[in-house]
Amino acid sequence: MAELARYKCTGCQWIYDPRYGDAANEVPRGVPFEKLPATFICGVCGCPKAKFTKVEEGPAKKEAPKKKK
């Protein structure tokens, strides 16, 4: 299962993570940011949904080289 994208408030840098939801706005776990209503606001500073930006994930971590026997 693919991970749900996280979004950051540009007003206060708070991150909406769908794995946890948003208790301040009564959003349960598992709700993708795209499914939040247009009236959604940051529970910390009150910025509207339009002021959130997608958090770009870094490159995949490389596995450490295996030791030779």
Decide if 60 is inside a domain: no
Decide if 62 is inside a domain: no
Q: What is the mean pLDDT of residues 24-34?
A: 96
Enclosing domain of residue 45: 7-54
Total domain count for the chain? 1
Tell me the residue length of the chain: 69
Decide if 61 is inside a domain: no
Decide if 68 is inside a domain: no
Cα separation, 21 vs 25, in Å, equals: 9
Question: What is the model's pLDDT at position 56?
Answer: 87
Which pair of tokens denotes residue 66? Answer: 């295996």
The CATH number covering residue 12 comes to 2.20.28.10
Decide if 69 is inside a domain: no
Decide if 37 is inside a domain: yes
Q: pLDDT tens digits, residue range 35-69?
A: 999 999 999 999 999 999 999 876 555 555 566 65
Decide if 63 is inside a domain: no
Question: What is the model's pLDDT at position 57?
Answer: 73
